Structure 1
Amino acid sequence: MVKPLLHETTTLITAQNGIPYWYFHGLPGPYEGHRIESVDPGGAVSRALPVHRAVGCVVYAATEIEQPGVIRHLEGTRFSIGEPDGTMSVRCKEFSDAMVAGGLKCPVEADLRNDIWIKLMGNIAFNPISALSRATMASICRHDETRELVVRMMTETLEVAASLGCHPRMSVERRLAGAEKAGEHKTSTLQDLEKGKPLELDVIIKAVVELADLTGVKVPTLRTIGAVADLLNEQLTAA
């Protein structure tokens, strides 16, 4: 259904959590052009949304779905964007200018993959744990054992990022402190669970496990939590 909307110069702003389907597009190195099966199964996504049209976007806004068509904005107005190949393109500048004119922050990043991993450090831990425990972000942080679990998951995530040549300038403790400030916020995954919706965790945790297998990094904690969350998701979709 998207195809008729894609004209010669149409750009796709891929605002999402987790690992995007275009991750290896325009990235020099041994994995350039590699397709990540968990986010682009059989190439279905890249066929519908060609990678040359994609501009990445990392969303730094906390929201809650109150009801269909009604979104409560809690905090955050930054939407970082960037070209997969790191160029400072005209289309990025034009989109950024439009977002800023609308009262939002929209920096154009030369290496958006740093932002992707920084945001993912929180999502990869809090989203599945919140679904499994039905706890808010603050509650997860205040509980000693789950706090330590978050630290292990974030540490493994940074090891995968490093194996791909990405070294985010963000410590685990600083990222954890930032997440704790969100307070009694329910992650989008927990909100989906409470509404009986499928848990969109493939791009958040399954993709990172797949990348770990690709580069030979050991991620036992991510693998374990991912397996349990995947079982929960199977039960939801079968219900």
Structure 2
Amino acid sequence: MKVAVVGAGAIGAYVGAALTRAGADVHLIARGPHLAAMKQHGVRVLSPRGDHTARVHATDRPADIGPVDHVFLGLKANSYAACGPLIEPLLKDGTTIVAAQNGIPWWYFHRHGGPYDGQRIESVDPGGTVSAVLAPERAVGCVVYAATELAGPGVVRHLEGTRFSVGEPDRSLSGRCREFSEAMRAGGLKCPVEPDLRNDIWIKLLGNISFNPISALTRATMREMCRHRTTREVIEQMMTETLQVAAALGCRPAISVERRLAGAERVGDHRTSTLQDLEKGKPLELDVLLAAVVELAGITAVPVPTLRTVAAISDLLATRSAA
């Protein structure tokens, strides 16, 4: 099995190292000092489960890799529309794109069934620019429950979690999903094939849609947001409205607002990825987390006043940070 990891940052390099341990033919696409370090030393993984080094091919030239069986997409969603030059040399008939994306994916309504089947979500696929690069029929969804960070060039620190849930847009238990899942599990990760990954998407989104923008607006950690009474009330309302939108689309994630908040508080003084991006001057990945759900609320006629307010303020923050 030949796999290319496009965007081999903390998560991508971690997955690439695991697949290499499983015996897959893995190629990492990265840039800068991180690429140089991986070329020279491989990927060094520091983990409570045991440290190890994976010797793996790394490059910034996808044409040197050629067509692969699976592309694991580790880029932020706001980079998808421009990633064509990275993706095109890797494709052949049947190449799967496994997108490890937070938030609502561009393929959400692909083979969804029902009245919204095939509908495009403008917030995540503006003008069809993402679908033009990442054909929905190639997509396999992936919800990441692992936390990693780059401790330095070529060095991934695994913090917690090893689960990467995957699933088909049409809810089938396909051969391509099973093949990728088996390789991930052989590399030491959890990778269940979910019959309806959309439920996992909403479970993960329940935290991202609330904590990520609020943390960027307040500069607060997870613990601080959970323990500040009025901020916690805003987050509770955002989560409640999100579950109402999910229900209108036929999804009922098996988690309560109370349980999600309790889990977030246990994380402690962690700064969300959105806050870290803000502090580093990087673009904020809020369209797929927040604007998309507001758009879905409009489609399904679900009132979401708190989400709309936070989205409006967050949009100004994202606009100013990008200036």
Q: Same fold (TM over 0.5)?
A: yes
Q: Give the drift of 1:63.
A: 2.9
Partner of 1:229: 314
Contact 1:38 1:210 in 2 (8 A): yes
Q: Give the drift of 1:71.
A: 3.9
Q: Give the drift of 1:72.
A: 2.9
- TM (normalized to structure 1)? 0.97
Q: Give the drift of 1:210.
A: 0.3
Question: Could you say if the C-alpha distance between residues 103 and 37 of structure 1 is closer, same or farther in structure 2, counting changes exceeding 3 Å?
Answer: same
- How many residue pairs align between the two structures? 238
Partner of 1:197: 282
Read off the aligned partner of 1:142 and give its amino acid letter: R
Q: Give the drift of 1:184.
A: 1.1
CA distance, structure 2, for counterparts of residue 225 and residue 31 of structure 1: 26
More divergent stretch after superposition (168-177 vs 70-79): 70-79
- Structure 1, residues 20-56: CA drift from partner, whole Å, max 9, x if none? 0000011110000000000001001111000000000
Corresponding residue to 2:137 among 52, 61, 69: 52
Partner of 2:124: 39
Question: Could you say if the C-alpha distance between residues 57 and 228 of structure 1 is closer, same or farther in structure 2, counting changes exceeding 3 Å?
Answer: same
Q: Give the drift of 1:235.
A: 0.6
Q: CA RMSD in A?
A: 1.1
CA distance, structure 2, for counterparts of residue 161 and residue 67 of structure 1: 38
Read off the aligned partner of 1:53 and give its amino acid letter: R
CA distance, structure 2, for counterparts of residue 73 and residue 194 of structure 1: 22
CA distance, structure 1, for counterparts of residue 129 and residue 150 of structure 2: 28
CA distance, structure 1, for counterparts of residue 214 and residue 152 of structure 2: 24
Partner of 2:196: 111
Runs of at least 5 residues in structure 1 that lack an aligned partner in the other structure: none
More divergent stretch after superposition (113-122 vs 1-10): 1-10
Matched, 1:188 2:273: yes
CA distance, structure 1, for counterparts of residue 190 and residue 272 of structure 2: 22
Question: Could you say if the C-alpha distance between residues 165 and 80 of structure 1 is closer, same or farther in structure 2, counting changes exceeding 3 Å?
Answer: same
Q: Percent identity?
A: 70
CA distance, structure 2, for counterparts of residue 223 and residue 66 of structure 1: 36
Q: Give the drift of 1:4.
A: 2.2
CA distance, structure 1, for counterparts of residue 273 and residue 152 of structure 2: 13
Question: Could you say if the C-alpha distance between residues 58 and 150 of structure 1 is closer, same or farther in structure 2, counting changes exceeding 3 Å?
Answer: same
Partner of 1:218: 303
Q: Give the drift of 1:147.
A: 1.0
Partner of 2:162: 77
Contact 1:59 1:78 in 2 (8 A): yes
CA distance, structure 1, for counterparts of residue 266 and residue 148 of structure 2: 14
1:83-232 equivalences under 5 Å are 83-232=168-317
Q: Give the drift of 1:102.
A: 1.0
SS at match of 1:77: coil
Asked which structure has the greater CA Rg, the reply is 2
Question: Could you say if the C-alpha distance between residues 43 and 212 of structure 1 is closer, same or farther in structure 2, counting changes exceeding 3 Å?
Answer: same
Read off the aligned partner of 2:215 and give its amino acid letter: S
Read off the aligned partner of 1:168 and give its amino acid letter: P
CA distance, structure 2, for counterparts of residue 230 and residue 67 of structure 1: 31
